[in-house]
Amino acid sequence: MKFGKRLKQQIQETLPEWRDKFLSYKELKKLVRLISTTTIPPGGDMLPEYGKPESEFVLLLNNQIDKFNTFFMEKEEDFIIRHKELQQRIHRVQNTWGPKGSHPSELCYKEELGMIRKHIVNFHGEMVLLINYSNINYTGLAKILKKYDKRTGSLLRLPFIQKVLEQPFFTTDLISKLIKELEATIEATFPRGVDHEEHVEDSKRKRENNYELLVVGEGIFRNTVAALLTMQDIRRGSSTISHFSLPPLNLPKFEVGQSML
């Protein structure tokens, strides 16, 4: 699948409020096409319009990076706050209604943990979506710059990508750390093998139908699965791999989603 179609599909499958935050790939591609068809007039005298598409292209690229950084940093800050609030919520529930809490209540404890389960799945999914957001926008920039260099004979890609590698939206270490911490929280709060037999059997049945659930499911879980598959696709090795490419991705087998089902 060509990148433009893949990006369009990814935008359609992401959260509605995220859709205008992705790379304006189609607009950049039009500018590249316009630049490559512009020729210098006979005699070598350039008209005032000559060079304008190039300036617009670079300006749009810089605007795209600003857009990525603003959105990414806002989400990153939001995730840090939500992660801390989640930890506090879990401790509050355990200390109040848990077996060793101040007011032990099996019913209240299960109800609260059930809501926390759903929140964790959604939260984990959003963070995966943000990493995918970083990956796919970086890939789009690398591809459009490759087209630009190929069609114009310029060497814009290398210096521009070096600039991109230093941008906040490309640095996903903190989000990856939060994801690992959240997965550790899942293991600690919902350890496998401690549920009642009936619940275990029900979970087993649901996991056996996991593929169908992923396909027909709605909401952020389905968005997350689509994002994971997109990341795997754009980061797998190919004959066109270069030092501008992202490294191959080894995906988890939806362990978080399965443990929460």
pLDDT: which is higher, 99 or 195:
99
pLDDT: which is higher, 46 or 78:
78
User: What ranges do the domains of the chain cover?
Assistant: 3-37+49-260
pLDDT at 47 over 50: no
3 state SS for the chain: CCHHHHHHHHHHHCCHHHHHHCCCHHHHHHHHHHHHHCCCCCCCCCCCCCCHHHHHHHHHHHHHHHHHHHHHHHHHHHHHHHHHHHHHHHHHHHHHHCCCCCCCCHHHHHHHHHHHHHHHHHHHHHHHHHHHHHHHHHHHHHHHHHHHHHHHCCCCHHHHHHHHCCCHHHCCHHHHHHHHHHHHHHHHHCCCCCCCHHHHHHHHHHHHCHHHHHHHCCCHHHHHHHHHHHHHHHHCCCCCCCCCCCCCCCCCCCHHHHHHC
Q: Which of 256, 245, 32, 220 is nearest to 136 (CA)?
A: 245
Q: Which of 258, 57, 50, 38 is nearest to 156 (CA)?
A: 57
- Write the single-letter amino acid at 194: V
Which has the minimum average pLDDT: 32-36, 151-155, 205-209?
205-209
Q: What is the pLDDT of residue 190?
A: 85
Question: Do 182 and 120 contact (CB within 8 A), yes or no?
Answer: yes
pLDDT at 141 over 60: yes
Q: What is the pLDDT of residue 14?
A: 86
pLDDT at 250 over 50: no
Q: What is the pLDDT of residue 121?
A: 87
